[in-house]
Structure 1
Amino acid sequence: MVQVVHSPQQERYEAKVNGEYVGYLDYVDEGGSVVITHTVVDQQYGGRGYASKLVRYVLDDLRGKDRTVVPLCSYVADYIGKHPEYSDMVAAPGGR
């Protein structure tokens, strides 16, 4: 089971499995929108679906806070493309 911890002061969500750190998602909070810059899963944990679980958690968390996202991270952009239920969260150019 993936546990995600949000660290707002670091602008980062961290993923752990059984207490082991497996990866993170970095962002920049720009007020109404959150710019997602990087999603990283340590190589030894790759291919297990941890990145998608982390991204889903983050998007659900941001949706609950009525935030939009700017997916600069290609993984997040691809994830949203494959999961259109999140497409309404993508910020329009120049804001919401």
Structure 2
Amino acid sequence: MSMLVEENAAKHRYEILVDDALAGFTAYLPRAEVLVFTHTEVDPAFQNRGVGSALMRGALDQVRDQGQRVVPQCPFMHAYIERHSEYADLVTSLT
């Protein structure tokens, strides 16, 4: 099973492809250098297979590489960051 996370800037979301099929996404609202993540969805056919975690890891790694920060309003992303403290430095608030 191959997984690829890529940004779909036109739709303001990061998408995860599993064997070339769209398996899920995490949506954001861009605010300057901050991305406000609002919603994450994984197709039921791909749930409980690590797809959601791979999506979070891929999206957060790309955010870090681009020098941006996140506001994790999405409960799934918020919980993921709480469990993976290596991403805590990316969290900020809107001022």
Q: TM-score range, shorter-chain basis?
A: over 0.9
Report how many aligned residue pairs link the two structures: 94
CA drift of 1:53 comes to 0.3
Cross-structure match for 2:60: 59
Q: For structure 1, list consecutive stretches of 5 or more residues without a partner in the other structure.
A: none
Cross-structure match for 2:45: 44
CA drift of 1:92 comes to 3.6
Aligned ranges 1:1-96 → 2 under 5 Å: 1-94=2-95
CA drift of 1:55 comes to 0.7
Output the amino acid matched with 1:81: E
Instruction: Name the stretch that deviates more: 48-57 or 4-13.
Output: 4-13
Q: For structure 2, list consecutive stretches of 5 or more residues without a partner in the other structure.
A: none
What's the TM-score, normalizing by structure 1? 0.92
Instruction: Name the stretch that deviates more: 79-88 or 15-24.
Output: 15-24
2-side partners of 1:87 and 1:21: how far apart? 27
2-side partners of 1:44 and 1:11: how far apart? 23
2-side partners of 1:66 and 1:5: how far apart? 16
The alignment partner of 2:92 has SS state of coil
**Structure 1 vs Structure 2: percent identity of aligned residues?**
34
RMSD over aligned CA atoms reads 1.0
What's the TM-score, normalizing by structure 2? 0.93
